[in-house]
Amino acid sequence: MPATMRILPQHGLVFVRYVGVATLQDTMRVFSEYLSHADFQPGQKHLVDMSEVTEWDGSYVDLMSTQAHKAEAFVNQRSQTLIAYYVPTEVGRTIGQLVVNSWEPFPSVVPILVDTEETALSTLGVDCTSFAQLLAAAPPNH
Domain count, the chain: 1
What percent of the chain shows pLDDT beyond 90? Answer: 65
Q: Which residue has the higher pLDDT, 17 or 78?
A: 17
Q: Residue 128 belongs to what domain range?
A: 3-136
Q: Contacts for 97-103 with beta carbons within 8 Å, 24 or more apart?
A: 98/56, 98/60, 98/63, 99/63, 99/67, 102/60, 102/63, 102/64, 102/67, 103/67, 103/71
Amino acid at 58: G
User: Which has the closest alpha carbon to 54: 3, 89, 83?
Assistant: 89
Q: Is residue 141 part of a domain?
A: no
Question: For residue 93, what is the domain's CATH number?
Answer: 3.30.750.24
Q: Is residue 128 part of a domain?
A: yes
Q: Is residue 142 part of a domain?
A: no
| Model pLDDT, residue 43 | 83
